[in-house]
Amino acid sequence: MTNFLESGAFYAHLRRCRKHYAERQSYFLKQVSRFGLPMTFPITGRGMNLVGMLPCNFNDRACSDRLRLAGLDVPPLPWYAVGLIPPGLLFGLAAFDERAIQRGVARMAVALDGKGARLSN
């Protein structure tokens, strides 16, 4: 481990990972826009996960449940918050290539198209 750190290989690895994560986030955001999903992403380009904020009239738990039924694991943001926060979802993108991201966003668009996700919290 010491050799890995001292040789600079660890930092090279981090640079490669950051590049891959940024590319995946960029592709994900393009797909979300392409499918017209009603989400905003206030913070991007910082790691493996991405927070998507939903409109205030959406129920993030209902959205998460609908996505789970579609085979997607996208937890509601309040699971990670101490206090009350606006509705949102947490996306993990690190393990997925562009094809998987495109398929997942397409499934997400179908799953969130129904009225059940638009129930107030």
Sorted by where each begins, the domain ranges of the chain are 2-118
CB 59 within 8 A of CB 120: yes
pLDDT at residue 118, as a whole number:
52
Residue 121 pLDDT > 60:
no
pLDDT at residue 11, as a whole number:
86
pLDDT at residue 25, as a whole number:
92
Distances (CA, A) of 116 to 43, 51, 57, 113, 119: 27, 21, 11, 9, 6
Mean of pLDDT values over 14-32: 90
pLDDT at residue 115, as a whole number:
46
Over the stretch 54-107, which tens digit does the pLDDT of each residue have? 999 999 999 999 999 999 999 999 998 888 899 999 999 988 999 999 999 999
pLDDT at residue 117, as a whole number:
53
- CATH code of 2-118, in short, is 3.90.1150.10
In the chain, the percentage of residues whose pLDDT exceeds 70 is 93
